Amino acid sequence: MNSKTKAFFVITMATILSVSLITAGGIQPAVADKDDDDHDNKKKLKFKKKPSFVSESCIITSFAEEHLPSKNYEELDCKMTAWLDKKGNALKYKIQVSGMELVDSNTEHHSDDAPHVIDGALDDIDGIHIHHITNNDVTNPKGPHQLNTFGNPGFDDSDVIVKPVQGIVKGIWTDADENTTYGEPNNSHTLTENLGLLCDGKIFSAVHGEFADRPGHKAPYVKMVLEPTKQGNKICDKLGY
């Protein structure tokens, strides 16, 4: 089963079994479950229990403030947590978002305020990616894709798991997830070439909605900058970063 099929299967089953798509009222505390254990054992990787990197805040963009319905904007929250194995071969990550939906709505709708947007899709997630900061601004980071985890332009993480009810996308980033078929700045790159950036706090994730902020580009609604924890700094030091 390829990564795109697996992600679709998880989304479909979770949608059938769920009553609501996303937990409202902010990010809920993470709870360990069997999926987490199976996910790690499959790759036979060992990660510390304490995270190596965390996002200290959820950056909500001005675009989201202008375009999201007030109810969704008030519920917007996000968090990213990541664990780096001691050899630097894999990064396990969990991205959680509230106030947006991982399953698309389907009704056509056009208006002056929301041209070419599907009714009910104002809070739909078009794609989630991990990026490299190139503008040296951690308050509004910008930069090219480094890993496409969910949605457009593709599901490049072969271990991605999507949980629509909890608003969670999680996976394991390795060098095998590289995909250069899209063309820059949308390609997925190896973890190895991003280890130095990760240890320097220059990696962030972005959740893009259905609105385009420029032709051919869906605007990011929330962003999360990963910063090394004490545990992360220890691993980075041993790896020489």
Q: Which pLDDT tens digits describe the chain residue by residue (241 residues)?
A: 444 444 444 444 344 333 333 333 455 544 444 455 445 444 578 898 999 999 999 999 999 888 877 877 888 999 999 999 999 999 999 999 998 888 765 544 444 444 444 445 667 899 999 999 999 999 999 999 999 999 999 999 999 999 998 999 999 999 999 999 999 999 999 999 999 999 999 999 999 998 888 888 899 999 999 999 999 999 999 999 9
Is the Cα torsion angle 223, 182, 94, 167 positive or negative in sign?
positive
Q: Which of 124, 75, 78, 131 is nearest to 101 (CA)?
A: 124
pLDDT score for 49: 92
Look at residue 104 and give its three-state secondary structure: coil
Q: What is the pLDDT of residue 18?
A: 38
Q: Which residues contact 225 (CB under 8 A, 6 or more apart)?
A: 55, 56, 57, 59, 133, 138, 141, 201, 203, 204
Separation CA 222–CA 173 (nearest Å): 21
pTM greater than the 0.75 cutoff: yes
pLDDT of 16:
34
Q: Which residues contact 213 (CB under 8 A, 6 or more apart)?
A: 63, 219
